[in-house]
Structure 1
Amino acid sequence: MSPPPSDRRPKSPDRAGCDRQSGAAVITAMLLVAIVAASASSLLVSMDAWIEHTELARDKAQATELGRNAITYARLLLATDARNSASDTLLEDWARELPPLRHEGAEIKGRIADLQGRFNLNNLRHASGVIDEQAYDAYLRLLTVLGLSPELADTLADWLDADDSRRAHGAEAADYAETRQNSNGIGRPLTNTGELARIRGYTPAIVARLQEHVSALSGIQAVNINTATPEVLSALQPGLSLSAARALADTRRTLPFRDAADFRTRLNDPSLPNSLIPISAASAHFLIQVTVDRGRARSRVLSLVKRQNDTSLPRILWQSIL
């Protein structure tokens, strides 16, 4: 038997062409929808990133402005203290580290450090560029108290000495000479303690160990005996052991030193020689440190200020915004 005739008729060429065009149109439409959706998604992501960037920039700007305002407040505090007291001690308002403050959605932390409570490394160098032997001896004593190599005093003195003299020996001296020849800042005072990292032997660990006890201020600066660490007190005063310096520092909590003469009286040993470097009961150089957190932004403002002889705001010597 022959198969039954089929009900389907062969498509004409025109009909087949129409179906293909219709299918292509559907695919094209789907691709367009996908492209539009992807573009919209990308646009939304870009907008979110732009909004996030804008908010972060706004928070950073506001945090920085609050940091600057906090610096101004700290300067006012130091000016007020100068009007009320002839000495500077750890019992005064400027020396107290306050708990974090909250203002307009921001958290503000700050402290004031007396840099004259530290050993000024530039005291090793006279204005003429010659090394001060007494200050050099005091620095040697400080290194010994801190358990550090005395060779560090030699390499620092070589770095500061304007006449290109050599105190370090052997390989130390050879390495130093090569470094000095290739450096532009040697034979001049240090501008900050960070420069110690450029000097032979001053590893990051050693610089961190020294940080609490040393500073790099312009010129010869007296050490404030009311704010100096016991290690610095022991270093500057021959015959004063670290344990005795700690005991002496404890007395400052109730009875700060009035002046250098009061310090010598309370040593209870008139046979001791004078201190190796100048001492005082007052300070002029302070480091103000402020950190502001607002949203996801953080601003850190550091300012070195010098208090004037009058009652005006302390002068900003340098300021850094991080």
Structure 2
Amino acid sequence: MSRQQGVALISVLLVMSLALLLTGAMLRNHRLVVKSTAQQLHQVQLRQLGFAGERWALHLLRSPEMQASRSVNLAQAWARATPPFEVDGGTLDIRVEDLAARFNLSALLTGGQVDALTQQRWVRLLALLPIHSADLENLSASHPGGLTDLSQLRAVPGVDAEVLRRLRPMVALLPKDASLNINTASLPQLMTLDGMTDAMARALVQQRPHTGYRSVQAFVEDPLLAGLELGSHGLGLSSRWFRITVDVAFGQSRVQLVSDVALDAKTRQVSVLQRRFLSSPTSEAL
């Protein structure tokens, strides 16, 4: 009888131990599920804040000012720096950039003969960065079919991560007929123009009319460029392509939303062409 009681007691203890093990495993799994769900909700919240910042920037680009203007310039609301917004315990830092202020790589990838002025400006830009690559200088030959993303330049001999890092803020892939917007172009972009010196480019940036030039002709005839005989080929006053960058900070988490958008040439409505979320905010989307 005593032996039977001992066996029964051991059986009870084994059952209790097994039950405790199962309960512990269930609790651990529950904690993991709760943690995973919380992380997912946190990521959703970060993304929603990013979308909120994008909507704010799109509102600026849809403003009556942009609808009525034939020019895109740095006096417009989209170009004015704004302090970070505090929203729902997080912060949003929103920037809008005119992509027509960059060198348009598509102009080199025509599938045919590249005009001499565009090729010369490209070579000057590479020298300014500085990037020394014969294959990049003759990009039309290495990529006759064109590019869909800047990362494809890594296939060009000599183009490593560092070269791509220097190039990214300077170039864009726009329609082939897109012009360089002289009202928003930066110092390096202006220095790619034929005969332009560093002093001339700096003076142009500093003394550029507040609301931009009235015409390309007014730009090439600017007294600062006297004697330069600068041509108007490939230059413009407007743009339909912009990049919206939203940096979201929420607690210890950071995320960056980069959206490329375009204005419809007829309706002037704005549509999103591409969105990219980056977990580690950078100065340029990869």
Query: What does residue 156 of structure 2 align with?
Result: 199
The 8 Å contact of residues 74 and 210 in structure 2, kept in 1 or not, is answered as no
CA contact (8 A) 1:191 1:217 kept: no
- Say whether residues 1:30 and 2:30 are aligned partners: no
Other-structure match for 1:301: 257
Of 95, 109, 113, the match for 1:125: 109
Q: Which runs of 4+ in 1 moved over 6 A?
A: none
CA drift of 1:116 comes to 0.6
Identity of aligned residues (%): 26
1:54 to 2:47 alignment: no
1:289 aligns with 2:245: yes
CA distance in 2, matches of 1:52, 1:292: 22
- Residue-by-residue CA offset, 1:180-200 (whole Å, 9 max, x unaligned): xxxxxxx22222222211212
Shift of 1:293: 4.4
TM-fit CA distance, 1:310? 4.5
Instruction: Name the stretch that deviates more: 42-51 or 30-39.
Output: 30-39
Q: Quote the Cα distance in structure 2 between the aligned partners of 1:152 and 1:250.
A: 35
For the 8 Å contact 1:155–1:200, the answer to whether it is kept is no
Letter in 1 for 2:238: A
| Match of residue 145 from structure 1 | 128
Segment drifting more, 210-219 vs 99-108:
99-108
The match for 2:203 among 247, 251, 257 is 247
Partners of 2:242 and 2:96 in 1: how far apart? 7
Calculate the aligned-residue CA RMSD, in Å: 2.6
Whether the 8 Å CA contact 1:238–1:276 is kept in 2: the answer is no
TM-score in terms of structure 1 length: 0.76
Cα deviation, 1:54-83, whole Å, max 9, x if unaligned, reads 222223234333433432332221121413
User: Aligned runs of 1:185-264 on 2, under 5 Å?
Assistant: 187-235=144-192, 237-252=193-208, 254=210, 256-264=212-220
AA of the residue aligned to 1:77: L
Larger radius of gyration: 1
Q: 2:201 & 2:86 partners in 1: Cα distance? A: 39
SS in 1 for 2:169: coil
Deviations 1:131-180 (A, max 9, x none): 222211110111112222151443422123xxxxxxxxxxxxxxxxxxxx
User: CA–CA distance in 2 between the matches of 1:83 and 1:243?
Assistant: 35
**Paired residue secondary structure (2:95):** strand
Aligned residue pairs, count? 277
1:266 matched to which residue of 2? Answer: 222
**Partner amino acid for 2:9?**
V
Distance 2:269 2:255 in 1: 23
Gaps of 5+ in 2: 279-286
SS at match of 1:34: helix
Q: Equivalent of 1:96, from 80, 95, 105?
A: 80
